[in-house]
Amino acid sequence: MKKTDLAKFEKALLDIVRATEAVKCSFDDFIAGLELIEEGIRERRQQARGGDAMPRGHQWRMIHPCSDCPLSESAAGLHLRRSLHPGRVAEIKRSLRQGKTFMCHKTTDETGNGSNLLCAGGLDYCESVGASSNYQRVCQTLDWLREQRKP
């Protein structure tokens, strides 16, 4: 994570702490509320796609880019990129810079196993240009908060 991203993340977490103090709720109650929001996001995506967008166990992203990720410079990635219609990779990158999500091609309902995980290559690209989606930020925050709650 870049220093600027870390500073934004720390500020967001401080805002969360201040919000819990302002509404006089406990931190655990606040976390429970965020988990309800996460569940709502999962349900809406499930309804929209006809499948579960966030598998159980809080897995929401691919950890490493696929060997044939269209956003990678590997030979397999270039091969897959060439199979896409002209301008598709530029379109994907533009949408990522605008804060949209991009699912890994190996996990979509159409071309993969239906688990709909965020593309690690797309997340790497977002980090390189200083962008992120609301969904990514919520998931990262929930991951961090879960780690803080572990005994």
pLDDT digits (tens, 9 = 90+) for 107-141: 888 888 888 899 999 999 999 999 999 889 988 88
Average pLDDT over residues 55-83: 80
- The answer, as to whether pTM is greater than 0.75, is no
Cα three-residue angle 127-1-129, rounded to 5 degrees: 20
Average pLDDT over residues 57-71: 83
DSSP letters for the chain: --HHHHHHHHHHHHHHHHHHHHTT--HHHHHHHHHHHHHHHHHHHHHHHTS-SS-TTT--B-SS--TT-TTS-SHHHHHHHHHSPTTHHHHHHHHHHTT---B-TTTSTTTS-S--PBPHHHHHHHHHHT---HHHHHHHHHHHHHHHH--
Q: How confident is the model at residue 45 (pLDDT cuts 50, 70, 90)?
A: low
Mean pLDDT of all residues belonging to the chain: 79
The values of phi and psi at residue 145, to 5°, are -65, -40
pLDDT digits (tens, 9 = 90+) for 9-38: 677 776 776 666 666 667 677 677 777 777
Q: How confident is the model at residue 146 (pLDDT cuts 50, 70, 90)?
A: confident
